[in-house]
Chain A
Amino acid sequence: MIDERFDAIVVGAGMAGNAAALTLAQRGLKVLQLERGEYSGSKNVQGAILYADMLETLIPDFREDAPLERHLVEQRFWMMDDRSHVGLHYKSDEFNEERANRYTIIRAQFDKWFSSKVREAGAVVLCETTVTELARDAYGKVIGVRTDRRDGEIHADVVVLAEGVNGLLGTRAGLRPPPRPDNVALAVKEMHFLPRETIEARFNLKGDEGTVIEAAGTISRGMTGMGFIYANKECISLGIGCLVADFQATGETPYGLLERFKQHPSVAPLIEGSEVKEYAAHLIPEGGYKAIPQLYGDGWVVVGDAAQLNNAIHREGSNLAMTSGRIAAEAIFQVKSRREPMTAKNLALYKTMLDDSFVIKDLKKYKDMPALMHIQSQNFFLTYPQLVSKAMQNFLRVDGTPKKEKEASTLRSFVAARSWLGLFGDAFRFARAWR
């Protein structure tokens, strides 16, 4: 096989790599996909929510046999202080539809299934193989890869780098900078197993209905970060993540945060009596639009997390990964169909197509958000959640204080904490970054 030449080599078998390999194989290209895990999925970590629309484009009938957990009928946002949370819940029976929009999934199982579709489409998938280096010709064009499995090089017209947020190949080859502490978050996660009925009772769910909770506030101890609780069929994915730069600056430990999150009075009853079966950690790209690197070059393209394609505000990553993988594959197919070489000039088509998709449009919309959240992390993740919690308690606790005095005291607490200028400034900056 080593002497064979491929139309494309895809490095990595996550959402982006599988979408790329599948699309290329479906279009009739000769594809080799390399994955370092013992099977596709065994190194992949996510919350995880699957966005049906993007998968449907690739595999229209995926609902027939994909390992899906629960279809989401509800989203809860929690703003937390140490003993309370203020919630915004949206639940709709309209999400109980035949072709549901979002599902919880377990990545190791889902990716294994996704990979089976890649193989069925005709791609060669080689697991337990770590790609160690890109092979380049005298002009610097990427012409293939070297792996730890075999001697020599495996050649292809183009290499699709779907190597994940911590991709070594592209960064070592100088194709893009390595991730910086201020544009990646470290998230830790546990899988809590409980009987199905217990999960459904605790989250108020019927049958395969599911819900997810996204939480922010004092749980991140002033750092830019979020907690999450996702209901699967027979387990709960629970985790918390914060910017690596913030961990570095504060000396907080990720497992310390996780333990405190689990002990929060709003969280503890949800997981009480559970059996933990796995502890995982993963980096999440948080740099947004401004952190997107060069996406293509002579003989290569980069897709998914490796290209920092993650919408941190909407907690969307896997759909951007899948879409960028598919679009890169379609661009490669078009170049190939014209019988043209895989030069940077021709592969620029990938960027043109991606710019025109929701992937880049959404990231552009929130381009100023990562910086705002990071610089103002104390205010947005500590001060405001505490103020809002106190305001709610003041509103609800009946103690004989006239309402007018209560409102005045709530207002005073906001002004004392942030000043009028600070309050208006924060509102203005937030609105501008959101626009």
Chain B
Amino acid sequence: MSETAVRVEEKLFYNRYLVDAGRAHIKVRPHAAPTAPLLALLKVCPARCYEMNEAGQVEVCVDGCVECGTCRVIAEPSGDIEWSYPRGGYGVLFKFG
């Protein structure tokens, strides 16, 4: 798994981003134990934005987010995450798309 993790970071390194510091466009609802939708995000997010912390909770870091919306489809209906688009001009900036 760690080998895959390195590879995803390398992939994201090709991309251009304008990070909106301090204004994450995705928020995970605070939880003691993660729900099934949150656990699914650890695997399905193509940018590996979701990680499990030492306390066993799922955290999100949106800096590498490619704004596909998959996590919204899976985890917004249950209220596990809040999802908005980044402010205009911020986020991933595709050169090719």
Asked if A281 and B85 sit within 8 Å, CB to CB, the answer is no
Q: In the assembled complex, how far is the CB of residue B19 from the closest CB belonging to chain A, in whole angstroms?
A: 14
Asked if A181 and B74 sit within 8 Å, CB to CB, the answer is yes
Q: With an 8 A cutoff between CB atoms, is B67 at the interface?
A: yes
- From A45, which residue of chain B is reached at the shortest CB distance? B97
What chain B residues lie within 8 Å of A237 (beta carbons)?
96
Asked if B85 and A278 sit within 8 Å, CB to CB, the answer is no
Asked if B97 and A44 sit within 8 Å, CB to CB, the answer is yes
Q: With an 8 A cutoff between CB atoms, is A83 at the interface?
A: no
Contacts A147-B88, A247-B44, A252-B43; A278 near B96 (Cβ below 8 A):
yes
Q: In the assembled complex, how far is the CB of residue B39 from the closest CB belonging to chain A, in whole angstroms?
A: 9
Partner of A111, one of B47, B95, B97: B97
Asked if B95 and A244 sit within 8 Å, CB to CB, the answer is no
A177 to B97, CA, bound (A): 26
What chain B residues lie within 8 Å of A188 (beta carbons)?
46
Asked if A279 and B66 sit within 8 Å, CB to CB, the answer is yes
A253 to B8, CA, bound (A): 11
Q: How many residues of B contact A (CB 8 A)?
A: 38
Asked if A283 and B69 sit within 8 Å, CB to CB, the answer is yes
- From A249, which residue of chain B is reached at the shortest CB distance? B40
What chain A residues lie within 8 Å of B76 (beta carbons)?
178
Between A129, A248, A252, A280, the greatest number of chain B beta carbons within 10 A of the residue's beta carbon is seen for A280
Interface residues of B in 54-97 (CB under 8 A from A): 66-70, 72-74, 76-77, 83-89, 91-97
A384 to B54, CA, bound (A): 44
Contacts A43-B67, A128-B89, A184-B73; A248 near B94 (Cβ below 8 A):
no
Query: Chain B interface mostly helix, strand, loop or mixed?
Result: loop
A251 to B97, CA, bound (A): 26
Asked if B89 and A38 sit within 8 Å, CB to CB, the answer is yes
Asked if A281 and B46 sit within 8 Å, CB to CB, the answer is yes
Contacts A178-B76, A180-B73, A255-B46; A46 near B97 (Cβ below 8 A):
yes
- From A254, which residue of chain B is reached at the shortest CB distance? B46
Q: In the assembled complex, how far is the CB of residue B60 from the closest CB belonging to chain A, in whole angstroms?
A: 15
Q: With an 8 A cutoff between CB atoms, is B24 at the interface?
A: no
Partner of A276, one of B14, B40, B73, B95: B14
A244 to B46, CA, bound (A): 11
Q: With an 8 A cutoff between CB atoms, is A149 at the interface?
A: yes
What chain A residues lie within 8 Å of B47 (beta carbons)?
281
What chain A residues lie within 8 Å of B95 (beta carbons)?
108, 277-278
Contacts A168-B84, A253-B4, A256-B4; A186 near B43 (Cβ below 8 A):
no
Q: Mark B1-24, 1 if CB is under 8 A from A, else 0.
A: 000100110011011001000000
Q: In the assembled complex, how far is the CB of residue A76 from the closest CB belonging to chain B, in whole angstroms?
A: 22
Q: With an 8 A cutoff between CB atoms, is A359 at the interface?
A: no
Partner of B70, one of A37, A127, A129, A281: A281
A132 to B69, CA, bound (A): 16
What chain A residues lie within 8 Å of B68 (beta carbons)?
166, 186, 281-283
Contacts A42-B94, A107-B96, A281-B70; A130 near B87 (Cβ below 8 A):
yes
Q: In the assembled complex, how far is the CB of residue B90 from the closest CB belonging to chain A, in whole angstroms?
A: 8
What chain B residues lie within 8 Å of A235 (beta carbons)?
96
Asked if B11 and A279 sit within 8 Å, CB to CB, the answer is yes
Contacts A42-B94, A107-B97, A279-B11; A248 near B72 (Cβ below 8 A):
no
Q: Mark A119-152, 1 if CB is under 8 A from B, else 0.
A: 0000000011110100000000000000111000
Using CB atoms and an 8 Å cutoff, list the residues of chain B in contact with chain A.
4, 7-8, 11-12, 14-15, 18, 40, 43-44, 46-48, 66-70, 72-74, 76-77, 83-89, 91-97
Known: A36-B88, A186-B68, A278-B95. 17 other contacts (CB 8 A): A38-B93, A43-B97, A44-B97, A45-B97, A108-B96, A130-B88, A149-B88, A166-B68, A181-B73, A244-B70, A253-B4, A253-B43, A255-B11, A278-B15, A279-B15, A280-B96, A283-B73
- 6 nearest A-B residue pairs (beta carbon): A166-B69, A128-B89, A108-B97, A279-B11, A281-B46, A107-B97
Of the A-B pairs whose beta carbons lie under 8 Å apart in the complex, a sample of 13, sorted by A's number, is: A38-B89, A43-B91, A45-B94, A107-B96, A109-B96, A132-B84, A148-B87, A149-B88, A166-B72, A168-B84, A255-B4, A282-B68, A283-B73
